[in-house]
């Protein structure tokens, strides 16, 4: 079924969430027991408030995430998506993830809605550094300002540029495939609906049900993403 939809579509957009990286060894946020937000309160460690009020906890939380990303590799599912982009099977990727794995595995048309852990920047002068600063526990800019990861924190709005570009991509899609997202965070979770309302077929691949499943033309809950992508790739 999914292979046929991919063969028939003219413009396929892939939309990924943290479930795309669990098979690389990175925890997602909301899976029972293992999700990051099962262990930590995001407003205490991943918010503008935490950056201003509890900066040591903020620094250490993000240092662990930067180290976690550096210790993990994109799994084979990422290579399949990169191959599909090169052979015209898919046209673009919109991701909520900040691990940089799509780009690392060769995908080129990637929209990182929530920014990237690969970079940090000064909260005061905006100077940008590589995130290896966090590995070395260097948390302050030459100017004395706090260095923060170049990700969207809780309490911050999505920059208009990436949002508009993702909306345009979603409107162009005739096939929109969600891979590994609970679709609980707005406004990132609007893009599947924008695509659907623009006439696209909507596919949701997620180990747990989402509130958007009833909008989908196809829902797959019983297969991990890596396994599914390998299976579908073999049918194309």
Instruction: Give ∠ CA 67-70-20 in degrees, rounded to 5.
Output: 105
Residue 169 has φ and ψ, to the nearest 5°, of -60, -45
H or E stretch covering 60:
helix 55-71
- The answer to the question of residue 99 lying near ligand APR (CB under 6 A) is no
Nearest-angstrom CA–CA distance, 4 and 43: 42
What is the closest distance, in whole angstroms, from the C-beta atom of residue 58 to ligand APR in the complex? 15
Q: Residue 161 or residue 199: which is nearer to ligand APR going by CB?
A: 161
Tell me which of 9, 22, 91, 170 binds ligand APR, using CB under 6 A. Answer: 22
98 has binding-site annotation: yes
Residue 98 has φ and ψ, to the nearest 5°, of -120, 10
Stretch in the footprint of ligand APR (CB under 6 A) among 20-28, 60-68, 131-139, 155-163: 20-28
Of 82, 84, 104, 77, the C-alpha closest to 224 is: 77
Residues 104-143 as x/- pattern, contact with ligand APR by CB under 6 A:
----------x-----------------------------
Is 75 a catalytic site residue?
no
Stretch in the footprint of ligand APR (CB under 6 A) among 21-29, 49-57, 60-68, 101-109: 21-29
């Amino acid at each position: 079924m999914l292979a046929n939809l991919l063969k028939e579509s003219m413009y396929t957009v892939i939309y990924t969430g943290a479930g795309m990286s669990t098979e690389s060894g990175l925890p997602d946020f909301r899976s029972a027991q293992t999700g990051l937000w099962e262990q930590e309160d995001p407003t205490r460690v991943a918010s503008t408030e935490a950056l201003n009020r509890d900066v040591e906890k903020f620094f250490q939380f993000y240092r662990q995430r930067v180290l976690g990303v550096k210790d993990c590799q994109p799994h084979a599912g990422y290579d399949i998506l990169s191959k599909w982009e090169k052979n015209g099977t898919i046209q673009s990727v919109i991701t909520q993830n900040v691990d940089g794995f799509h780009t690392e595995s060769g995908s080129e048309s990637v929209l990182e809605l929530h920014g990237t852990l690969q970079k940090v920047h000064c909260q005061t002068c905006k100077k940008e550094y590589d995130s290896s600063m966090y590995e070395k526990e260097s948390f302050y800019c030459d100017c004395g300002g706090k260095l923060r990861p170049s990700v969207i924190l809780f309490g911050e709005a999505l920059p208009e540029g990436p949002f508009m570009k993702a909306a345009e991509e979603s409107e162009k899609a005739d096939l929109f495939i969600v891979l590994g997202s609970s679709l609980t965070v707005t406004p990132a979770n609007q893009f599947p609906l924008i695509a659907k309302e623009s006439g696209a077929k909507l596919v949701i691949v997620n180990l747990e049900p989402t509130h958007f499943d009833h909008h989908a033309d196809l829902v797959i809950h019983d297969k991990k993403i890596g396994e599914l992508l390998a299976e579908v790739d073999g049918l194309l």
